[in-house]
Structure 1
Amino acid sequence: MDAIRQGTVKANGLDFGYLEAGPDDGPLALCLHGFPDSAHTWRHLLPELAAAGYRAVAPFSRGYAPTGVPEDGAYQAGALAADANALHDAFGGGPDAVIIGHDWGAFATYGASAHAPGRWRKAVAMSVPPLGALMGAFFTYEQLKRSFYIFVFQTPVAEMVLNRAFVESLWRDWSPGHDAAEDVEHVMACLSLPENRAAAIGYYRTMLDSSRHVARYAAEQAAAATPGERPVLYLHGGADGCLDAAAADPAAVLAHLPAGSRAEIVDGAGHFLQLDHPAEVNRLILDWLAD
């Protein structure tokens, strides 16, 4: 099994810290994390991708240490998509590259693959369905209760709320039964400084306030809301405590994805399904990439 290495690379004007496994000359597999998480969320998948011949890379997202905090304060989906496409260049990716994203990484995956389909052969998105499917389910009473944290993050007390106990509680609620001690340690290391915590909250403030959007990411932002061209494997945990599986009905999801896409519910898995059921999720991803 390939060892996981660490490194730093400059892309889209930021210094990105990353984890990596596999040969330098293999096709790029870019793995993008969400909230409250880190690149370590891919610790089970990276070695499997490496064994399949990929150069598997998991960057820490913008604002999450050791990656830098962007000076322009851009945290919209379009900025994340632009980061992904810039990282494709930084790692010498070709048209055989694949992109895999969880949570906010899923938003980046939709935007990057739709905006620059020539860079990506296939895509995998997890735990956040495409925007068209998501909007149909987000405003139910039950889902609004689950999404309370988004609204808390719009308030002046958000930075005080985002502490270890809060992060531990989100992991406990979102992936019931998963021992998240290691993951919480990684998250708190990424958010140890006030500017890092402000960055993580900034994703959600930008989510509900388009006046925070940075104009230079407008094309990627628009692309993130379109089906795009590259086929997508969408995976969602059946026991997801963040976004109920009812919001990820495969038929509804596929209506907003390109032809040739697939959508599956992973029974018993929570929001962090790549950690809850790693063997099953790894198999689904590797089979999809090999098909």
Structure 2
Amino acid sequence: MAGAQAKAPFGDVRQVDAGVLNIGYVDAGPADGAAVILLHGWPYDIHSFVDVVPVLTAAGHRVVVPYLRGYGTTRFLSDDTMRNGEPAAVGLDLIALMDALKIDTAKLAGFDWGARTADVVAALWPERCRGLVSVSGYLIDGQASGKVPLPPKAELAWWYQYYFATERGRDGYDKNRRDFARLIWQTASPKWSFDDATFERSAAAFDNPDHVDVVIHNYRWRLALASGESQYDEVEKRLAAKPKITVPSISLEGDANGAPHLEPSVYGKQFAGQYEHRTVGGGVGHNLPQEAPQAFADAVLEV
């Protein structure tokens, strides 16, 4: 693909108290437009959507792009709150943000952690989701599945998950956040030629004081090596049952995604409503909205 150059960043990042967080977010487009919420993954940030937002606002949408917990300007309101990365907690962050912004329902779209979060809300609170765009499809799972061995090739692709399970891995990630993120960008999107300015614009989000704790907990929780918080147990129980997603949905996959992912034929049955899968060609990797913004925006507009 052609080299990706850093473009002008979003406007001012706003802040709002929502649940256990003070969330940093971009709010673009007409205030009375139909809402769209875009959710980034790891190790990325809100700038994955820098070229998607103008397309959606030009179509009349209000577009909200929050920093997830542990990224950018999002902060915990209390020093005593566990720096928890489990899926239920992040999903309820999204519900809390919608409540704080008085958004009753929205189209939800994301990739990586963001896709999982959008899937969680679409599955358990479908009344809050008018439509779903999920890169790599259905990403809901429980801790029990994290205990099941995978074929060696799949285990190799998850190398960093096992690295993070060690204290050496935690310390290594903390000390080498930028080098680590750059490596993941390169391996997850092997045909994406991003420049240094593009990378550094997003890498600043990893300077968040809670970033390492949240990331490490997320991956340890997924391997059942760390506990979550009891207030999320009931939600996690519901998610472990792999609830169907009934809202209108489009799943997307880049044809050159180097990150671990399943084939649509495996997860397609989890979408019980109107559903379509699209493979985006041209050497598109894991960070699909930044590598193929028009294809991502089109899916959001059409879902």
Instruction: Please say which of residues 180-189 and 232-241 is displaced more in the overlay.
Output: 180-189
Secondary structure, counterpart of 1:262 in structure 2: strand
Say whether residues 1:176 and 2:190 are aligned partners. Answer: yes
Q: Counterpart in 1 of 2:116? A: 107
Contact 1:81/1:220 (<8 A) preserved = no
TM-score of the two chains, using structure 1 as the length reference = 0.88
Q: Using the TM superposition, give the Cα deviation of residue 208 of structure 1 relative to its aligned residue in structure 2, in angstroms.
A: 1.4
Supply the AA of the counterpart residue of 2:82: D
Is the partner of 1:229 in helix, strand or coil?
A: coil
Identify the structure with bigger relative contact order (alpha carbons < 8 Å, sequence gap 6+).
Answer: 2
Distance 1:22 1:194, change over 3 A: closer
Go from structure 1 to structure 2 and tell me whether the alpha carbon gap of 1:198 and 1:182 turns closer, same or farther (over 3 Å shift). farther
Note the 1:255-270 alignment, pairs <5 A. Answer: 255-267=269-281, 268-270=283-285
Question: Structure 2 CA distance, aligned partners of 1:269 and 1:239?
Answer: 5
Residue 301 of structure 2, aligned match among 252, 271, 286: 286
1:232 aligns with 2:239: no
SS in structure 1 of the partner of residue 167 of structure 2: coil
2:67 maps to 1:52: no
User: In the aligned structure 2, how far is the partner of 1:176 from the partner of 1:220?
Assistant: 36
Instruction: Specify which of 120, 124, 149 is matched with residue 129 of structure 2.
Output: 120
Contact 1:64 1:200 in 2 (8 A): no
CA positional deviation for 1:18: 0.9
- State the 4+ residue runs in structure 1 displaced beyond 6 angstroms: 135-138
Within 2, Cα distance between the matches of 1:121 and 1:222? 24
Pick from 9, 14, 19 the counterpart of residue 12 of structure 1.
19
Cα pair 1:31 1:100 within 8 Å, conserved:
yes
The question of whether the paired residues in 2 share the 8 Å contact of 1:17 and 1:59 is answered with yes
What is the alpha-carbon distance in structure 1 between the residues aligned to residue 61 and residue 149 of structure 2? Answer: 36
Structure 1: any 5+ residue segments left out of the alignment? none
1:194 Cα deviation (Å)? 5.3
Quick check: 1:85 aligned with 2:100? no
| 1:136-157: CA deviation from partner (whole Å, max 9, x where unpaired) | 9982222211110111111102
Could you tell me which runs of 5 or more consecutive residues in structure 2 were left unpaired when the two chains were aligned.
Answer: 1-9
Once the two structures are superposed, residues 82-126 of structure 1 have per-residue CA deviations (whole angstroms, 9 ceiling, x without a partner) of 01111111121123x111121011111111112211111111111
How many residues of Structure 1 are paired with residues of Structure 2 in the alignment? Answer: 281
Change (3 A) 1:119 1:129: closer
Q: Do the aligned partners of 1:130 and 1:256 also contact (CA within 8 Å) in 2?
A: no
Q: Distance in 2 between matches of 1:217 and 1:273?
A: 30
Following TM superposition, by how much is the alpha carbon of 1:183 offset from its aligned partner in structure 2, in angstroms?
4.4
Q: CA deviation at 1:231?
A: 2.4
Taking the aligned partners of 1:138 and 1:240, their CA distance within structure 2 comes to: 22
The percent of aligned pairs where both chains have the same amino acid is: 27
